[in-house]
A and B are shown apart, each in its own frame.
Chain A
Amino acid sequence: MMILKVNGRDHQIEAEPDTPLLYVLRDDIKLNAAKYGCGLGQCGACTVMVDGKAVLSCVTPLVLLVGKQITTLEGLGTVDRPAPIQRAFMEEQAAQCGYCIPGMMMRAQALLQRNSKPTDQQIRSALAPHLCRCGTHMRILRAVHRAARMMREAGNSTAGHGSPS
């Protein structure tokens, strides 16, 4: 048994220490934004934030997470009150099939929390670990720029519960 802190709440988890975080998020806590892609940390679909940093949840076992703060896409905003990164992706219509997008949003969020005005290249290299075979790459880029603007304008680059570090 362990306490897992997800989106600002403590969850009591009954699972072996080697269980990947992704399984616990989806199966036990029913947070389904993070996706199962390859299971080997090679595609980025399972990305969430741990203590403000983008982490591949499918290769991150519980044993590494004692005392750490986990943020999933659900923790950034809701359907009624989407966070800037979510609004930006919707306004730019940046999802095609959408499977990889929650992971991309989480990494973009982690980037924007440490760099409120990233260049095109910085966004590209930050998102490089994410595989996506749809045709919206340029829209994704635009969405991240848009989210950056929205967050700067709101003067609040730490929307959501991820603590910047």
Chain B
Amino acid sequence: MRIALALVAVLLIIGASLALVWRPAIETIDPPARQSFDPELVKRGRQLAAIGNCTDCHTVRGGEQLAGGMPVRTPFGTVYSTNITPDPETGIGHWSEAAFRRAMNSGVDRAGQHLYPTFPYDHFTHVTNQDDGALYAYLMTRRPVHAPARQNQLSFPFDQRPLIAAWKLLYLRHDEVRPDSSKNSEWNRGAYLVEGLAHCGACHTPRNAFGAERKEAAFGGGEADNWLAYAINVQSPAPVPWTEQALFTYLRRGWHPDHGVARGPMAQVVSNLSPVDADDVRAIATYVAGLFGSPASDRIRSAEAVRTEANKAPTAAPQTSASIFAPNAVSPATNTGAAIYAAACASCHETSRPLPYAGLNLHLSTAISAPDPRNAANTILYGLPALDDERSPIMPGFAPSMTDAQVGALLIYLRAHFGHEPAWSKVEQTVAQARQAQAAFLQTSADPPNIATEPLPRDKP
């Protein structure tokens, strides 16, 4: 604690002195006419915006597109995304391209204020001016929405924007992504996208006490919205090693027969990538496959064993004993867990129906071999909701029908039976936290859109 205070004090001093080196405002402009942008440029900007998840972070559930207000939770408090529609008053209508480029490059808004790195400009700084131009063209041709920014909820001293200057001094690097001539153009394109616009590390890299990515542990596993963003480097917990082809399929379609379905925040990433040029997704897969590295021979062997186990013809569901009905039976958690699995899960997860409409054989599941049970708990409690207007895998959620103790016992059994790593600790707490996180998520995200409702004639007096 004392060290943290001292550090804060040091940062305050650095911050205060840097605040003197303030950033100038950039002249306002009249909102440019839509027609002044080349439609081809706008189209490219749309794809780039999809790769950068701009819409997800700048739209509240059911709210107006890009009008901001999405809460981004950090250990220091909540930062709300801002309105990036071309509304002159509350959006970026008065921003010139230069002002937009500065925001992307160095996290400074038009008026010269430092922006919080929850806006991932530590990655966006690597985006080329040309791509920034396309993004700008895309944003400035959206429908302007009047939506004032929401007040951030940050504790002192983190509510002091000048402090961000110190953060940048320590952690913002502009020149990290340089083309590597020893690699082919696909790899280089992938590196440019992954490290820059796609900001995969923003979720998949662990962060330090100041909320900055720990570069020495790049892609070693991070988190997003109470989901574990698994390691996607040599430390990957996936039971079957990822290949370039598997990555391409997963990023493109949202699932792979050896790895299952992308859920939570990753489902959004994947759905954003679906309209993007296949070449760009292929490039991302190429680069990320390099991060995983080629698996050691013992990993290949254990993966083969896992596959064989998983492909065995579905066996009769594990035997359950009727004694579990006895109200006072003190059965070890694994017995209870096994009984629940056999009764509630096996019919979908050990079946001859193919993925993704059946569940993955859990021997293959990264959720079960991950360092903590968060993602498995989220999935059991809330399932996989049906997507609008799309065929999609569906799993019912068990939050209303299982107690924390039941989910806990189930998780302990799944880890012991299907996992390949030591037992998880604090399983029941994880379940309780998953329920709280979901409740908070539903409270802060807005209601789904109100499709023009018919008036209620009978309600009239």
Interface residues of A (CB under 8 A from B): 1-2, 16-18, 40-42, 50, 53-56, 59-67, 92, 119-122, 124-125, 128-129, 138, 141-142, 145
Q: A40-B396, A63-B324 are in contact. List 6 more A-B contacts (CB 8 A).
A: A17-B322, A18-B339, A18-B343, A40-B394, A121-B449, A124-B451
Question: Is B38's beta carbon under 8 Å from chain A?
Answer: no
22 contacts between A and B (CB under 8 A): A16-B320, A16-B322, A17-B320, A17-B325, A40-B348, A41-B394, A50-B400, A53-B400, A55-B401, A56-B396, A59-B344, A59-B396, A61-B340, A61-B344, A63-B340, A64-B340, A64-B343, A66-B327, A92-B458, A124-B450, A125-B448, A142-B459
A42 to B394, CA, bound (A): 7
Question: Is B453's beta carbon under 8 Å from chain A?
Answer: yes
B325 to chain A: closest residue by CB: A2
B339 to chain A: closest residue by CB: A63
| Residue pair A121, B448 in contact (C-beta under 8 Å) | yes
A63 to B447, CA, bound (A): 35
Interface residues of B (CB under 8 A from A): 62, 317, 320, 322, 324-325, 327, 339-340, 342-344, 348, 383, 386, 394-396, 398, 400-402, 406, 447-451, 453-454, 456, 458-459
Residues of B within 8 A of A40 (CB): 348, 394, 396
Residues of A within 8 A of B325 (CB): 1-2, 17, 62-63, 66
A141 to chain B: closest residue by CB: B453
Residues of A within 8 A of B322 (CB): 1, 16-17
| Residue pair B317, A18 in contact (C-beta under 8 Å) | yes
| Residue pair B343, A55 in contact (C-beta under 8 Å) | no
Q: Which of B327, B339, B454 contacts A17 (CB 8 A)?
A: B339
A142 to B339, CA, bound (A): 42
| Residue pair B450, A121 in contact (C-beta under 8 Å) | yes
Q: Which of A53, A59, A122 contacts B447 (CB 8 A)?
A: A122
| Residue pair B324, A119 in contact (C-beta under 8 Å) | no
A65 to B400, CA, bound (A): 11
A62 to B320, CA, bound (A): 12
Q: Which of A17, A60, A122 contacts B401 (CB 8 A)?
A: A60
Residues of B within 8 A of A92 (CB): 458
A59 to B458, CA, bound (A): 38
